[in-house]
Amino acid sequence: MKPSIFIDGEHGTTGLQIRERLAKRDDVNILSLAMEDRRDADKRREMLGACDVAILCLPDDAAREAVRLIEETGNTKCTVIDTSTAHRTSSDWAFGFAELDENQSDKIKTSKRISNPGCYSTGAIALLKPLIDAGLMAQDCPVTINAISGYTGGGKQLIAQMDDASNPDAIDTSFHLYAMTMQHKHVPEIMARAGLQKRPIFMPSVARFAQGMLVSIPLHLDQLNNATIAKIQSTLETYYGNSEFVKVASRDESKTIGQLKPEDYANRDDMKLWVFGDDESGHVNLVAQLDNLGKGASGAAVQNLNLVLS
Ordered structural domains, the chain, with CATH: 4-118+297-309 (3.40.50.720), 119-293 (3.30.360.10)
What is the side-by-side order of every strand in the sheet holding 79-82?
Answer: 29-31, 4-8, 53-56, 79-82, 113-115, 94-95
Number of neighbours of residue 183 by Cβ within 10 angstroms:
10
The answer to whether the CB of 31 falls within 8 A of the CB of 4 is: yes
Find the length of the chain: 310
Is the pTM for the entire model greater than 0.85?
yes
Asked if 269 and 294 touch (Cβ cutoff 8 Å), the reply is yes
pLDDT of res. 144: 97
Q: Give 168-176's long-range contacts (Cβ < 8 A, gap of 24+).
A: 173/208, 174/207, 174/208, 175/148, 175/205, 175/206, 175/207, 175/208, 176/205, 176/206
Distance CA 48, CA 40 (A): 12
pLDDT for the residue numbered 24: 87
Residue type present at position 281: S
Give the pLDDT confidence score for residue 156 in this predicted structure: 66
- Helix or strand holding residue 47 (H, E): helix 41-50
Count Cβ atoms below 10 Å from residue 40 Cβ, excluding itself: 13
Phi, psi torsion values for 195, nearest 5 degrees: 100, 15
Distances (CA, A) of 186 to 60, 146, 199, 301: 13, 13, 11, 17
Residue 136: the pLDDT is 98
Cβ-Cβ contacts under 8 Å for 97 (sequence gap 6 or more): 104, 117, 122, 125, 126, 193, 300
pLDDT of residue 256: 95
Q: What is the pLDDT of residue 38?
A: 75
State how far the Cα of 206 lies from the Cα of 119, in Å rounded to an integer: 13
CB distance 203 to 143 below 8 Å: no
Q: Which of 51, 57, 78, 119 is catalytic?
A: 119
Amino acid (one-letter) located at 46: E
β-pair type (29-31, 4-8): parallel
Region of 37 (left: φ > 0; alpha: ψ -120 to 50; beta: rest) is: alpha
Distance CA 90, CA 281 (A): 40
The tens-digit pLDDT sequence of the chain (310 residues) is 899 999 999 999 999 999 999 998 999 999 988 888 777 888 899 999 999 999 999 999 999 999 999 999 999 999 999 999 999 999 999 999 999 999 999 999 999 999 999 999 999 999 999 999 999 999 999 999 999 999 887 666 766 676 666 666 666 777 888 888 888 999 999 999 999 999 999 999 999 888 999 999 999 999 999 999 999 999 999 999 989 999 999 999 999 998 999 999 999 999 999 999 999 999 999 999 999 999 999 999 999 999 999 9
User: How open is the CA angle 136-137-143, to the nearest 5 degrees?
Assistant: 150
pLDDT of residue 232: 98
pLDDT at 163: 63
Known catalytic membership, residue 119:
yes
